[in-house]
Amino acid sequence: MRHLISINDLTDDDLRGIVVRGAEFAAGAREKPLRDAVVGVYFRRTSTRTRTAFTAGALRLGAQTVTFGPDDLQLNTGETTEDTGRVLAGMLDVLVARTADATAELRTWAAGGQMSVVNAMSAEEHPTQGLTDLTTLYSHFGRLEGLRLMYVGEGNNSAAALALALTRFPGTELELRTPAGYGLAAAILATAAEQAARSGSKLTERHDMTALPTGLDAIYTTRWQTTGTSKPTADWRDVFAPFQVTERLWQDSPKAVFLHDLPAHRGEEVTAEVLDGPASIAFTQATHKLHSAMAVLEWCWADRP
């Protein structure tokens, strides 16, 4: 039974295969390998792109879907996580779940071994976003190897997934510019650095906006207030203000594309001139969430008896 709870649940071949397959779906592949499957879509937190992508993706692949909102399961009345997982596994083939909490609950459901579990965003990591980002880059550039990307903003779950994914590809360079106190989690940074050393890629994190890299292929940001989280200090906006993405970042990287995992707050993490400007492929990136979701679901379904 295949699960996607972290990017690091994937082998290098799995990772590349899902990215390439997502690009194939984007180019028009129309197979329906999940025609006998039932996919559950359970979101305890708000979602526009991820929930729609996995629901629409499952339907496009021929599956049937069952959706659950935050108040629909008996977890709210005291049923244990283990019992809930056993019940769902007896009825579903794949469960796509966003809890925005730690991944322990998802691991519990996956341990039953009867249904695939996909992490649609947890507190630590947003693996399906990382796959979407790589699918977007691959579709745009025709490759991942050798791409140079700067991520600006909080080292949140999207940044974690991006770091764990991009560092697997030789020659890539990922520079993270994160506010002091809001960088990548130490464990994620260490794992990504180990992967970079193994693959021949480069990972750097700094907490300022001086001496920026030049000749970048892509500049990426995310909203400052991540879903389901809050900032520990009242002055956090002052800390984040120097990390706003503006047109000045293109002075030394004129060919760079702009990425954003959305939703965006124009005038906060990014100016409207950038988000709606000619360098932006953020809304194409959002559409690729569908294609990436289809690739993940197909991967989960592969090799079923």
The list of the chain residues with pLDDT below 50 reads: none
Query: Of 85, 93, 75, nearest to 112 (Cα)?
Result: 85
Spell out the CATH class of 129-286.
Answer: alpha beta
pLDDT score for 233: 83
Residue 169 CA, distance from chain mean position = 17
Cis peptide leading into residue 263 (ω within 30°):
yes
Nearest Cα residue to 125 out of 302, 261, 283, 277: 261
Q: Where are the beta strands (DSSP E) in the chain?
A: 38-43, 64-68, 94-98, 116-119, 148-152, 173-177, 202-206, 218-221, 257-260
CA-based nearest residue to 138, from 57, 255, 219, 218: 218
- What pLDDT score was predicted for residue 49? 97
pTM of structure = 0.96
Domain range summary for the chain, segments of one domain joined by +: 7-125+289-301, 129-286
Helix axes 49-60 and 282-301, enclosed angle (nearest 10): 50
Tokens representing 266 are 């124009």
The fold for domain 7-125+289-301 equals Rossmann fold (3.40.50)
Distance CA 218, CA 151 (A): 9
Which residues have a Cβ under 8 Å from the Cβ of 150 and sit 6 or more positions away?
174, 175, 176, 177, 212, 213, 216, 218, 219, 220, 249, 253
- Residue 228, pLDDT score: 62
In which order are the strands placed within the sheet that holds 148-152? 202-206, 173-177, 148-152, 218-221, 257-260
Asked if residues 253 and 183 have their Cβ atoms less than 8 Å apart, the reply is no
Pairwise CA distance, residues 219 & 121, whole Å: 22
**Domain 7-125+289-301 identical in fold to domain 129-286:** yes
Query: pLDDT tens digits for 80-131?
Result: 999 999 999 999 999 999 987 789 999 999 998 899 999 999 999 999 999 9
